[in-house]
Amino acid sequence: MVKAKKEIKASKSEKGAKHLVIVESPAKAKTINKFLGRDFQVVASMGHVRDLPKSRMGVDLEHDFAPEYIIIRKATKTVKQLKKDAEGKETIYVAPDPDREGEAISWHLSHIFSEEGHGPKILRVEFNEITKEAVRKAFDHPRKIDMNLVDAQQARRVLDRVVGYQLSPLLWRNVGRGLSAGRVQSVALRFIVDREREIRKFVPQEYWTLDAKLSAAEGPEEAKIFLSRLVQIEQLKPELKNQSEIDQLKEELQHLPFQVANIEKTEKRRKPQAPYTTSKLQQEAYSRLGFSAANTMRIAQKLYEGVELGDEGSVGLITYMRTDSVNVAVSAQEEAVRYIREQFGKDYLPEEPPVYKSRKGAQEAHEAIRPTSAFRTPDSVKSFLEDEALKLYELIWRKFLASQMVPAVDEHTAISILAGKKYGFRTTGKKNLFPGFTAAFGEIKTEKENSKATEEEEVPEVPELPDLKAGEMLKLHELLGEQHFTKPPARFNDASLIKILEEKGIGRPSTYAPTISTILGRMYAERKGGALIPTELGETVVDILVEHFPKILDTEFTALMEEELDEIEDGKMGWVKVLKDFYGPFSELLKRAQTEMKNVKPSPVPTEYKCDVCGKQLMIKFGRFGKFLACSGFPECKYTRSIPTGFYCPEPGCGGELVKRRAKGRRAFYGCSNYPKCTYVVNDLPKKEDAAEASSEAP
């Protein structure tokens, strides 16, 4: 924060500037300040300066949902300084990010400067990347503020405020204080809850696979042995359910001849994927780097706003990171062509630059996430970036280069084998003939999404296939039966939750990371090894909302709302009409819920523990952060403590117990009950055997 203030002060020190430029952050201001001449003074608004009040809804439901905007308390000094900076300026350029939110910030800033009825001309400049060329080009072509974009943001803000500020009090009254409900967050939470319940209901089914160890019958003793899987019994797919069936098959197959029936070789081309959109970046940063969605966006923001590169100065390394478009500027494609030709050769270049299709509703004017220069390699910037930032930049850089390259070419071989006339076995293999785009990005692993399909459907690939011919006899070395059990669908993690939200049309690129953070922050779900697991509180909230507000938690309805918000942006719908169409049915459900929603607050549960202050019995109570112990003498005695876990603190001579704790911005952890005297913390409880040993040693 100290650094930010210094940067603002530095930018304000410019004397004699004719124009004022306002961006959101000091980092962005610092970078842009170096691209513009002395006639420009660049300052930061520190994000939004006006918003709806926190203490009340701030929306007039009786008069076309008119919003009541106020200067945000933390922005008071900033606004005062901005007005001072604007004095005597010919032009004010508002230059927040190129999206709905940025357009809204521009509009609010414009309102602040125009409310006195006079002042300099206000223009909007927009750039997708923070490089000298892009910034100067934007200032050569300023425009007016786009009110369609502003209305789309305003509609979303008002809609979410109306839903949140009217649903949340119902949860406070009937579930617990401090809870919240949101239009997108509640649907996302429902996905997590429904998946968990699906897992609980799942009953594993036993099945078996049978593989044969084979080699060519003729030839040297050391002939290559390979595996082949049983895939057919009398033209039907085998369904092997137990050990006895496997034993019977083995007995019969031992006496049958094995022969190559057919060998198929086909060439297949694997096309590169498009450069990153926000959701795809979040998904791959999670699966490849282990970054949460929030962490990915935090790092990407820094890469976009500018990084000090020694003699080169401060420059944005990537284009704007909130986008659902896969478009790429022609100039960026041309630079990628030059780099690929120099580093990989002309064989890696397609005849024409590839064109990728964005998903329905994407903002085609925007670009995909890409490096601002293909020649700014990860190696060339690694000394200027922290480890996480370098990893994310390299992922973006490699993805973009790969997207501009030719497909990889593979040779797929499938060997069909007959045992007698009744049993069919199959062996598959793959050999790369030309790496294509994988030379830049590596192999792309396709993640199987919670499939209930059993493993017998998949024939494992053999790394190196022997050189066989159709009709050739084979030697059986061994038959291997293996027991399996069908698996339940996997729990959602950041990547898979974002994927389903995008597929269902729930939320937009800028909302995915905040949605997950809110669900975790409200204690509706917890992380466990990356998985998102609903808490008891989260399940309760979903159940009560589904019962009384089924439309709010309906995926199709929520997706339709997103489409209407997009239509506002395109100028096809008025924002007030969209809100009226929503609020009519919603208000009726609200009235009904006021009287019909049942109180589901669990009753306190007595325990054997005594209050450390007054000696009365402690009760298990339920709050926003889960279960805790509280004195039965409340409100006279307000003593509370965490519920003991039965695990002692391992610190020598401490004698405290480990209790579950939470801190803002991090997952649940366990700390000593003797805090602050003992500051021992651990992410997970010890194993039972370790705990038993620790308990025997504890005083």
253/301 same-domain check: no
Better-scored residue on pLDDT, 377 or 365 = 377
Range(s) of the domain holding residue 333: 278-403
| SS3 label, residue 671 | strand
Predicted pLDDT at 13: 42
> 456: pLDDT confidence band, cut at 50, 70 and 90?
very low
Please report, for the domain that includes residue 70, its CATH number: 3.40.50.140
Q: Alpha-carbon Rg of the chain, whole angstroms?
A: 31
Please report, for the domain that includes residue 287, its CATH number: 1.10.290.10
Q: Tell me the pLDDT of the chain averaged across its residues.
A: 89
Predicted pLDDT at 624: 67
pLDDT at 330 over 80: yes
d(CA 501, CA 493): 12
Last residue of a domain, one of 387, 403, 419: 403
Catalytic residue among 207, 320, 524, 583: 320
d(CA 270, CA 432): 11
138/165 same-domain check: no
- pTM recorded for the entire structure: 0.85
Cβ atoms of 50 and 110 closer than 8 Å:
no
657/554 same-domain check: no
320 tagged catalytic? yes
Residue % of the chain over a pLDDT of 70: 91
Residue type, 33: N
187/210 same-domain check: no
Over residues 242-277, the pLDDT tens digits come to 999 999 999 999 999 999 999 999 999 999 999 999
Query: CA torsion angle for 28, 31, 36, 38 (degrees, to 10)?
Result: 100
d(CA 561, CA 159): 10
Place of tokens 């160890």: 213
384/443 same-domain check: no
386/470 same-domain check: no
Please report, for the domain that includes residue 194, its CATH number: 1.10.460.10
Over residues 381-408, the pLDDT tens digits come to 999 999 999 999 999 999 999 999 999 9
Sheet strand arrangement including 91-94: 40-44, 19-23, 91-94, 121-124
213/185 same-domain check: no
Q: How many domains does the chain have?
A: 5
Tell which residue, 469, 222, 502, has the closest CA to residue 360: 502
Please report, for the domain that includes residue 471, its CATH number: 2.70.20.10
> 603: pLDDT confidence band, cut at 50, 70 and 90?
confident
Last residue of a domain, one of 348, 379, 403: 403
Over residues 627-651, the pLDDT tens digits come to 789 999 999 999 998 888 888 888 8
231/350 same-domain check: no
